[in-house]
Amino acid sequence: MMGLLGRILFFSLVALSVQAQAPFAASWNFDGNNGGSTNNANVSASSAGLTGINLAGYPSNAISIRLWTTGGLNTGKYVEFSVTPQNYRFSITSVSFECNRSAQGPTQVALRSNQDGFSNNIGTASVSESTSNPDFSVAFTELENTVTFRLYGYAAGDDLGTLRIDNLRLNGTVLLVPLPVELISFKAQRLAQNIEIHWQTAWEKNSDFFDVQRSHNLHEFSTLHTQNAAGDTRALSRYHYIDESPLLGVNYYRLRQVDRDGKFVYSKIIAVYFGEGSPHISFYQNPTSSSNIRVRLLRFVPSDLRLVSLNGQSMAFEWQPLGGDDYIFKTIAPAGWYWIVGYYEGQRVSQKIWLSGL
């Protein structure tokens, strides 16, 4: 039989394991806007972005979206939303929402995520003119980086048919054990024929080493350099590495931080352009939607640029690569004229564009 000390130890361990996790929920209610929120300070939620589709309005505190494909699933048309842990690991267990459609709206929806490069469906559901509540199970465990989902509508009767979405919910748990490294900066810049990479940590615990990794397409990364970590420190630590043989075109860099127990986590991805030719910014369409700004860049990467209103106000934007020198920018900036401005080796380059809003 278990003695008193054993029972006390057992129940103490159970209590600790229960306390080490906390549930969280992220919500997108679409009450006149696309903002997201969470009920746990250790997880943040993005706004819901629209790519390749248009906002038709917010009827009855839901979002109505049109310009869906009339054929099969189109990977260029989706609603995108993300959650990010704040210095903790988290797990995601489900994504649910309410939906219905107009008579000519999309009859199918599918959910995908960045965990496999948006390659496979997590789940699919049929959509009718009556409200339904698709609920997809998700098994993402102990993740340390942003998880992004894309919701696709397709098989519409007409591209002006609408899909209505409400009460978008994401559920999961947070593992309340701090990560072993707090990375406070990660930057890269071109210096003559090299690219110099710098990063800093605010503190480290049980950290073993960093791999500096590079890619030309965001799909395949190779390790260029391994840097020993400080290990255990509460002080600021600085690191740098010089890539002496950068690729022509865009170089994408990330860090792979590995702990002494073999666990690892990736940093955000940064990009630096390396090549010849005059710096240039061009648009495929002008005017265009704020959520679907297709841009071609030469000698620039998106992080080099600013989106500025005519009165000089900087507007936040997100971006994703399309391959080569092409990108999609998206912003919640209201309709109007804007400048996209970049500086390359002291030279200012800018292009004016009319954004029609979401």
% the chain with pLDDT above 70? 91
Assigned domain for 1 exists = no
The DSSP secondary-structure symbol of 46 reads: P
CATH number of the domain residue 70 falls in? 2.60.120.260
What is the total count of domains within the chain?
Answer: 3
Note whether 56 and 157 are same-domain residues: yes
Note whether 30 and 66 are same-domain residues: yes
Assigned domain for 106 exists = yes
HSE on the CB side for 41, CA within 13 Å? 0
Assigned domain for 11 exists = no
Q: H helices within the chain, ranges in order?
A: 4-19
Q: DSSP letter string over 136-149?
A: EEEEEEEE-S-EEE
Note whether 286 and 223 are same-domain residues: no
Number of CB atoms found within 10 A of residue 317's CB: 18
Quick check: 2 pLDDT over 90?
A: no
Note whether 270 and 294 are same-domain residues: no
CATH number of the domain residue 229 falls in? 2.60.40.10
Note whether 64 and 166 are same-domain residues: yes
Note whether 59 and 103 are same-domain residues: yes
170-223: per-residue pLDDT in tens? Answer: 999 998 766 667 788 899 988 877 899 999 988 888 889 999 999 887 778 889
Residues 221-240 have a mean pLDDT of 90
Q: DSSP letter string over 161-176?
A: --EEEEEEEEEEEEE-
Note whether 152 and 205 are same-domain residues: no
Residue ending a domain, among 175, 204, 238, is 175
Amino acid at 294: R
Of 104, 107, 105, 45, nearest to 80 (Cα)?
45
Report the chain's terminal Cα–Cα distance, integer Å.
Answer: 67
For residues 100, 103, 106, 109, the Cα torsion angle rounded to the nearest 10 degrees is 20
Split at pLDDT 50, 70, 90, the class of 263 is confident
Note whether 200 and 307 are same-domain residues: no
133-151: per-residue pLDDT in tens? Answer: 999 999 998 887 889 999 9
> φ and ψ at 303, to 5 degrees?
-70, -10
Residues 314-321 have a mean pLDDT of 88
Note whether 231 and 291 are same-domain residues: no
Domain that holds residue 331: 280-355
Quick check: 111 pLDDT over 50?
A: yes
Residue 53 and residue 66 in contact, taking contact as beta carbons nearer than 8 Å: yes
- 25 - beta bridge partners? 171
Assigned domain for 16 exists = no
Contacts of 92 (CB under 8 A, 6+ apart): 83, 138, 140, 143, 147, 170, 171, 172
Assigned domain for 10 exists = no
Residue 93 and residue 174 in contact, taking contact as beta carbons nearer than 8 Å: no
CA atoms of 195 and 238, how far apart (whole Å): 17
Residues 271-281 have a mean pLDDT of 77
Note whether 169 and 186 are same-domain residues: no
pLDDT for 301 equals 85
Residues 155-183 have a mean pLDDT of 88
Residue ending a domain, among 151, 175, 199, is 175
Residue ending a domain, among 225, 255, 274, is 274
Assigned domain for 312 exists = yes
